[in-house]
Structure 1
Amino acid sequence: MTDVNIMTGGPHENLSDDWQQLAGEWIGVDRGTLRLVKAGIKPILAVGDFDSLTASEFQLVREHVQKIEQVPSAKDDTDTELAVKAALTDFSADKVTLVGATGGRLDHFLSNLFLPLQPRFLDDIERIHLLDEQNHVDYYGPGTHEIQPLPGYRYVAVINLTPVTDLAIVGAKYPLKPWSAAYPYAWASNEFIGNEPFTVSWTTGQVAIIYSRDRIGQKVDN
């Protein structure tokens, strides 16, 4: 399996504490490349317009990254979209994890959250994941899926990002009988029963499974 992690330029405080321990190669997106270089990680590719870097910062990137794809600021694709495309096409990634893709500007976050729904990425939707300090996001297409507990995450949400048909949850703390809607909806704050997996199924639509945990230092539940 080929894992490719993509470091974007989101706020540092939103990064998971163990992001540097992620297995696989790295692609840097714009200022995210500088974050990798400063962490001692040599990305296999850097992509972006790099307009967020000073001249000296970009020089540091050039000294540590062998392959840099500098693109114009005005273009059809975002830098992150170009990075995901490269991970799937050029590096044949089996798993793509976006890091630093949440927090900060809401438009950037929503662009990243909905990125796997684009027709060009839809066939690979289950390969794409998002990770930050409090959340781990997986994507699924129609079918029956067994959702396994993830250590460190108490809560799990089932969110249809598109219209959905016959969405059902079996074996979780809060089950759901087959349900259909023409609009996105978040079945949030569900939980596993012990360490047992639960099953989610639906016939049409795209669904995100979001594992989440409360902020670090919180002593009681919300």
Structure 2
Amino acid sequence: MSDSLQIGIVAGGPIEKIPNLNDYPWINYWIGVDHGALYLASHRMEIDLAIGDFDSISQAEYETIQTHAKKVKQFPSDKDSTDLELAIDESIELKAENVSIFGATGGRLDHAWINMFLLKKLAHANITAKLVDRQNQLSLHYPGVYSIEKEQQYPYVSFLSITEQVEDLTLEGFRYNLNAETITFGSSFTVSNECVEKKCTYSFSKGILLVIKSRD
């Protein structure tokens, strides 16, 4: 295993949306966010850090978290950041190389939306990051050249601009390739593509791109 820090964050979203965490053996540091820490404890997984205001759990459940976590950081309920943002700030401070976030989708829409946009904070810190559930994998990117491998688990790939526009979007190895196209915020033009080669590449020169890999 690499000595680099590969962080897994488990938030308090619907547990039925959380994939089997044993499928991510490369993660070497686990952060449980509020009720997500209880999820890790109940699955007998090591908790390196439990963080949040813990207002969604009982005193007995909090004591269970304290028993299983190496470190607990509790914050007041009245604060300026969500519990997940606090965990992301910790990941940045720890200088993580990669962050995978689970339990952050499938519940309240306001939480799901801000959780997607919190990926920007990690991208700005040059940390590779993604939101993962049983049906989707989301990542956010600044201009550059990127590659993805063909995956049976997530066969569909969508490219969405979260800025007014993304310029010079080029797709190679996909079912629908593009050459230096401009896509705009709110357009469905680049939804539901597929990587048909063993490895596909995409690049763009301006804007911020949300990449969603998904399955039915």
Mark yes or no: TM-score above 0.5.
yes
Q: Deviations over 1:158-177 (max 9, x none)?
A: 12222322222233101223
Work out the CA distance in 1 between the residues paired with 2:186 and 2:169. 12
75, 78, 103: which is aligned to 1:74?
A: 78
Give percent identity, aligned residues only.
Answer: 35
Return closer, same or farther for 1:192/1:182 CA change in 2, 3 Å cut-off. Answer: closer
Q: Which 5+ residue runs of structure 1 have no aligned equivalent?
A: 215-222
Q: Deviations over 1:117-150 (max 9, x none)?
A: 24xx342355111110011122221022222223
Correspondence for 2:66: 62
Matches for 1:24-103 after TM superposition, within 5 Å: 24=27, 25-90=29-94, 92-103=95-106
Does the CA contact (< 8 Å) of 2:154 and 2:213 recur in 1?
yes
What is the RMSD computed on CA atoms of the aligned residues? 1.7
Does the CA contact (< 8 Å) of 2:123 and 2:140 recur in 1?
no
Work out the CA distance in 1 between the residues paired with 2:62 and 2:86. 19
Return closer, same or farther for 1:126/1:172 CA change in 2, 3 Å cut-off. Answer: farther
Work out the CA distance in 2 between the residues paired with 1:83 and 1:72. 15
How many residues align? The count is 209
Correspondence for 1:141: 142
Matches for 1:9-28 after TM superposition, within 5 Å: 9-16=12-19, 18-22=20-24, 23-24=26-27, 25-28=29-32
- Secondary structure in structure 2 of the residue aligned to 1:188: coil
Work out the CA distance in 2 between the residues paired with 1:109 and 1:183. 18
Work out the CA distance in 2 between the residues paired with 1:7 and 1:83. 9
Return closer, same or farther for 1:189/1:182 CA change in 2, 3 Å cut-off. Answer: closer
Does the CA contact (< 8 Å) of 1:125 and 1:141 recur in 2?
no
Work out the CA distance in 1 between the residues paired with 2:119 and 2:187. 17
Work out the CA distance in 2 between the residues paired with 1:56 and 1:175. 54
TM-score (norm 2): 0.89
TM-score (norm 1): 0.87
